[in-house]
Structure 1
Amino acid sequence: MINVAIVDDHRILTEGLQSLIAESAIAKVVGVAHSAAACRLSLAFWKPDVLLLDVGLPDISGVDFCKEIKEQFPNIRVLALTTHSEYTVVRQMLDNGASGYLIKNAMADEVMAGIEAVAAGETFLCHEIDLLMKRPAEKNVWLSPRERELLLLISEGLTNTEIAEQIFLSPETIRGYRKNLLLKLGAKNTAVLVKMAIEQKLI
């Protein structure tokens, strides 16, 4: 039986998780806290195998709290539970010792699979986060306002000459920009570039 503790300030969510875990027959909830402060007071008594940790706690960032927990209780497996699906937040949580990452709208079986996986010492990323982390160009794509404008015009199917006329630059300059955008996003052609730009919400 896996001992699970939950730290989340959304009471409806924690109640739902408690029911889900209780019905699973593979885990049981040993404690619930609605803030980091409350969790600090009880963690040593609870001795959970897995800690479901909300990234957006009211009193401290879950990212920082994760690091603190891992320093004090290295054997506790932290499974991040959050509405945040930004690459940098996921990366920071994993860097600070989290063993897994769940989005709050994850399906019940995905939640239980996550608890089982991290308890067994594996890393678990729910489907949505797994896709996010595998995107090759998600590393650190930063586009200038001019590049975003250009990307939008490219996505509308305009040629270099048409774009040049519209934003008062030479076709040569536009060609250079386009080449740079392909490089930045790691796209092999314009069609892939547009697809990636839409997926990554760059336009």
Structure 2
Amino acid sequence: MTSINDLEEGLRGKYLSLGDNFSYIFNCFDRKFENVSENFTSVTGYAKDEILNADGFTIGTKEFQSTSLPRIKQILETFYDIYKDNLNGFRSFFSYPFVYKDGRVEEVFAEVTQVDFEDKQIVRITVFNTLFDDTLDSALKKGVTFVNLEKNIAFSNISSVEDLETCHAILSLSKREIEILSLVSEGLSNQELAEKINVSIHTVTTHKKNIVKKTNTKNIMVTIRYCLRLNIF
């Protein structure tokens, strides 16, 4: 199992240290670039005066702009709303197809370094990008990854708001519920589990039903897969 330390080290070390880097500040309400790094032109080919505050200017493919970008924005907004009082230490990563000035398209690995968040919406976002020729792991193209080393939390490759909400629900489970999930993952039957934690079989089945309901998962095995993604046990 990949540790959370390894996850962030892998993300930053493997991807953010490769290729050409640049950053920008994007206003999500006005849908305009407010600022770009000094090396933006040399890396991408776009002149600052054609991108800054230009209406309708995009650097992602049309498909990304119409389908993936709204989903990523919704995931980020849901995350920042859930954790708005406890955001210190969180790092956010995602990837997207970048279109150079000359028409070439390359996958970009991006880290969200700052977000201005108001009324459950992202107003302004600062993004650090890395352009490189190597291909990203396919899993990293599926969604957004959130890492917090201080709290030992990692949300890997979140592909939808529902996915994020399930992860959050699992992190909110009680110690007893997590213990039961861990024992189920080891293959214990209801009878063995009941004997292990000194409760009735009825109590075990009730816990399982409550866990599935709380996490909005199809069954207990799906819940366990989420736990493994979150490095809970």
Scaled by the length of structure 1, what TM-score is found? 0.46
Higher RCO, 1 vs 2 (CA within 8 Å, ≥6 residues apart)? 2
The structure in which a higher percent of residues are helix is 1
Scaled by the length of structure 2, what TM-score is found? 0.41
